[in-house]
Chains A and B, each alone.
Chain A
Amino acid sequence: MGHFILRRFVQTLIVLFFVTIFAFFLIRLAPGNPAIMMLPDGAPESAVKEMEIKLGLDKPLYVQYYKYIKGIFTEDFGLSTAYKRSVGSIIRARFPYSAKLAIWSVLIGCVIAIPLGIIAGSRQGSATDFFAMMFALLGQSMSPVWLSVLNMLVFGVWLKWLPTTGTGSYKHYILPILTLAYPMAASIARIGRSGMIDTLSEDYITATYARGLSKFKVNWKYAFRNALVPIVTLVGIQMGSFLAGTIIVETVFGVAGIGQLLNIAVGNRDYALVQSLLLISSLCFVVINFIVDIINSFIDPRNKLN
């Protein structure tokens, strides 16, 4: 078991290392000189020179990279040109909002979709199956762009049940969470359904029936744990890439999370912030998937051993 975790951990580090390299060079691609951006317009040549030294742009690339990496560990992501404040502090302030959104939407997604997928898979061709398929197909075709606007329009503007923008009481979070949760629930239901269908066609399920177990036990204990493996993997991926999902939703519903921050950073051409957000989101993705792999290895011992 330990060997498997170590191997996966090393793989995670390698991926993260390359992501930092990608993020580091990405910013170099940006047009213009960050030093000029930091100074008020029309600053003299000497001031620009001095700012460059301050930002360490004159040193060779690998030194800059080393400084950049050291910065990550000390949470010093450099200065945001737009906010003139340290990037770390900005992100730390906004991260909880996005995290809250993500966790709730994944929870609601699972609570709705896992039972739906399992029942649809076990009763193939029944009404629940057809409903689950429709639910999943519609959900996956709903672009967050359209779904968020539609929800805002229907529940916010027309029915006026819920506030449409801003953060405050729990009420403000209902619409964004539903908008995020529905597409997630759709793909979880789909994966759950196909996982069940594949599992139920296996020999050991016939063997379990041949040993006198009831349909309920077979579906919900013996087939369920096999179908759970692909579901956990998918939830890991969705949980991990929550930042991407939240960008649209936070922008439309005005939730002050890091998704909205990315959109603003892009608007202000604040490359240091964009670079750090990219790093944070892939860090979340990689860490969460690492955890999911460990959970999966408890559920299904096969991938633990090979």
Chain B
Amino acid sequence: MSDKLLEIKDFSVKFSTEYAEVFAVNHVNIEISSGESIGLVGETGAGKTTIALATLNLLSKNASVKGDILFKGNSVFSMSDKELRTMRGAKIAMIFQNPLTALNPVFTVGEQIAMVIRAHENVSRKEAMERAKELLNMVGIEKRRFKEYPNQFSGGMRQRVGIAASLACNPELLIADEPTTALDVTIQAQILELMKQLQQKYSTSLLMITHNLGIIAELCQKVAVMYAGTIIEYGTVKEVFSNPLHPYTKGLLNAIPKLEGERKRLEAIPGLIADPQNLPVGCKFEPRCTKCDDRCKEFMPSMVKINDNHYIACYAVN
């Protein structure tokens, strides 16, 4: 049993659709040990959600997978159906992005939390409902509202129900797929604060997926920057954000308007977001990169260590 909680090893996913092959994830390596929180940041189509669903082996049928994902040493893709069910929701839990569609509209909020408890522990329906009420209270919703339906709650409240349901069985790893993107700033602050407290209280490790760099800076110790399905820069948040090396990370940080300091013109990254249906052979960022040379065009650069807290996949830098 290795001490690493989750190991994603040279992992690739290809979706074969009606018209073309979509290379959503290309040779990704991530490791999370228990109690650690890692941010996965990248733009639309960078393959973040695909990795999250793959970790729970929930990819759609038309996905073909290469490489492996190990949870506590054994691969999620070779787990039996029963093993998978015991892992999902109890060992690894997931929070979904859109609170309006992540809860079943025809079941009460209490039932949707209790169902997770009863799926993993054989407790009576009444006792599961009691624990559900406790969980609702913990995420800041009055207990008596447990028999109300999702459409009677605001977006922020529904996301709290989602969090309560995901923490019902004290998971060891929490995967949050853009949990606050659909929420307003003040509500988002409440949810992030809640996640921070719960993480300290249960020391669950966190895989935070978002396109908002500010959230990563708030919540995570390490960050992996993704572009077109590959991780191009990885390290501690402090190191990567204060001393970004990869042209894409630098481009991202310069393209974001700031809340303080001088308002100089934004540096837009030229070109279009990478089209996962026809990706360049070499470095995926090569078409938009100002500092690329022939090596970038032919070979995909592998991760190189700058220092203990900083890894990067780019020829031009080292």
Residues of A that sit less than 8 Å from B by CB: 202-204, 206-214, 217, 222, 225-226, 229, 299-302, 305
Question: Which one, B85, B162, B168, contacts A214 given CB within 8 A?
Answer: B85
Among A207, A209, A212, A217, the most chain B Cβ lie within 10 Å of the Cβ of A212
**B145: Cβ under 8 A from any A Cβ:** no
A203–B98 CB distance below 8 A? yes
CB distance from A129 to the nearest CB of B (A): 14
Residues of B that sit less than 8 Å from A by CB: 53, 56, 58, 81, 85-90, 93-94, 96, 98, 101-107, 115-116, 119-120, 149, 151-152, 162, 165-166, 168
CB distance from A216 to the nearest CB of B (A): 11
Considering the complex, give the chain A residue whose CB is closest to the CB of B98.
A203
Residues on the B chain within 8 Å of A210, using CB: 56, 58, 88-89, 93-94, 96
B101–A305 CB distance below 8 A? no
Question: Which one, A203, A225, A300, contacts B101 given CB within 8 A?
Answer: A203
A222–B88 CB distance below 8 A? no
Known: A202-B101, A204-B103. A212 touches B58 (CB 8 A): no
Residues on the A chain within 8 Å of B86, using CB: 212
Residues on the A chain within 8 Å of B104, using CB: 204, 208, 222, 226
B120–A212 CB distance below 8 A? yes
Question: Which one, B81, B87, B96, B105, contacts A207 given CB within 8 A?
Answer: B96
Considering the complex, give the chain A residue whose CB is closest to the CB of B104.
A204
A211–B93 CB distance below 8 A? yes
Residues on the B chain within 8 Å of A305, using CB: 151-152
Residues on the A chain within 8 Å of B120, using CB: 212
CB distance from B136 to the nearest CB of A (A): 16
Among A210, A213, A302, the most chain B Cβ lie within 10 Å of the Cβ of A210
CB distance from B91 to the nearest CB of A (A): 9
Known A-B contacts: A207-B103, A211-B168, A300-B105. Give 4 more (CB < 8 A). Answer: A206-B53, A210-B58, A214-B85, A225-B107
CB distance from A246 to the nearest CB of B (A): 34
Give the distance in Å from the alpha carbon of A204 to the alpha carbon of B96 in the complex: 9
A211–B115 CB distance below 8 A? yes
Closest 4 CB pairs of A and B: A212-B89, A211-B89, A212-B88, A203-B101
Give the distance in Å from the alpha carbon of A274 to the alpha carbon of B53 in the complex: 62
Give the distance in Å from the alpha carbon of A226 to the alpha carbon of B106 in the complex: 7
Question: Which one, A206, A208, A225, contacts B106 given CB within 8 A?
Answer: A225
Considering the complex, give the chain A residue whose CB is closest to the CB of B108.
A301
A204–B89 CB distance below 8 A? no
B106–A213 CB distance below 8 A? no
A211–B106 CB distance below 8 A? no
CB distance from A14 to the nearest CB of B (A): 27
CB distance from B98 to the nearest CB of A (A): 6
Can you give 6 contacting A-B residue pairs, CB < 8 Å? A202-B101, A210-B89, A212-B90, A226-B104, A229-B106, A305-B151
A211–B119 CB distance below 8 A? yes
Considering the complex, give the chain B residue whose CB is closest to the CB of A211.
B89
Residues on the A chain within 8 Å of B53, using CB: 206
